[in-house]
Structure 1
C-alpha cells in the first residue's frame, strides 16, 4: 500500500514538471546624451524528452500589465523588491508611430476616422502574422535564443493615469520576463482553417513561464 502511494505521488510530481527552461542570459546598456539603450539576451530550452511546439513571438517585448493574453514576451520591472506598476518606464526599441499628434491636429474628423480604421486593420493583420509566423518547435534538449531591445528616455518622474512613480537613481532595479503559452484566445484572430492547423499539432504545449531576475541600470 505504501509503495502504491509513493508511486502515485511520483507520477503526480513528474506530470507537473514543465518541459521548458527559461533564462535571461545578460542585459547590457549603452548611453547616449538623452537615452539609454538596453540589449536583452535570453533563451528557452526544451528540457523534456519529447518534441514540443508552442506559439510565442519571443523577440517582441510588452509590459506585463498590458494584458496576459498575448503571444508576445512580457517584461516586468522592480525597484528593490517591489514591482513598478506602470508600463511607460521603458519602451520596446522597435516601437512605431503611425503619425504624430501635431499632424493629427491638421486632419479633418473624416480623415482621422479613416486613419483609425486603417490602423485597426493594420494591427489585426500584424497580430495574425505574429501568431502564424511564431509557431515554435523544439526537439528534446534543443534551445532557441532571443535578443530584444528596450529604451529609457532618462526621465525619472513617471505618470500614468492616477499612478505616479519616481525612479530613484540609487535604488537597485531588476527586470523579469514571462510568457503565457496558450491557444484558445487566438481563435478569434485566425480563420477556422488556420486555428485548426495549429491546434491539431500533437506536440502543442501550454503554460505560464517566468524567468530569473537581472539587474537593470537606472543610475546616473
Structure 2
C-alpha cells in the first residue's frame, strides 16, 4: 500500500510540474482585458502522430465571471480536421496566440455532439495565478500528505484547485464542457488501473 501511494504521489507531482512549466516561459502574453471579439490568431496542437500543427482562431467574445475569478474566451477554430471533427478532447491545453502573444489554452468544447469547432479558452492570466498560488502556498512535501493511509480522494482534495473545474457553462443556450485529456496506462495491473480511474477522471483525464 505504501509503495502504491508513493508512486501515485510521484505521478501526480509530475503532472503538476508539466502544467505549471507551460505558463512560466518568456512568451509575451495578451491580458484578458485586451482580448476583443473579431481578433484573429493561431493555435497549436497535435492532431496525429507527434507533429505540431497550427490552426486558425477567431475570437467570438469573453464570458466573464462564469465562476468567481473565472472567465472563458470563446473562439471559433478553423483548419485541419477541425471542420469535420470539431473540438476534440486531445486538444486540451493547446496554446492560442493573437499577434504572437499568448492569450490562453483550449479547455472547453461546445456540447458533446456539436461538430462546429467552437472552443472555450482558459485565459493565460488565470493559468499564471494558479502558478503563483502554487509558489506561495505550502510546499508539497512528505510532512503533510505522504502517510501510509493517504487515499486517492484525499490527494485529489489537496490539489483540486490546480485542475479544470468539471462544471458545465452555458452560452446562448448551449453547453460548454471541459475537454478531457487522453491518458494511457502501461505496465499497470487491471486492479491498479480500476482503482486509479476515478481519481484521474476527477482531474480531467480520460483514462
TM-score of Structure 1 vs Structure 2, range by shorter chain? under 0.3
More helix by share: 2
Q: Which protein has the larger Cα radius of gyration, Structure 1 or Structure 2?
A: 1
Q: Which has the higher contact order (CA 8 A, sep 6+)?
A: 1
Structure with the largest fraction of strand: 1
**Could you state the TM-score of these two structures normalised by the residue count of structure 2?**
0.26
Return the TM-score normalized by structure 1.
0.25
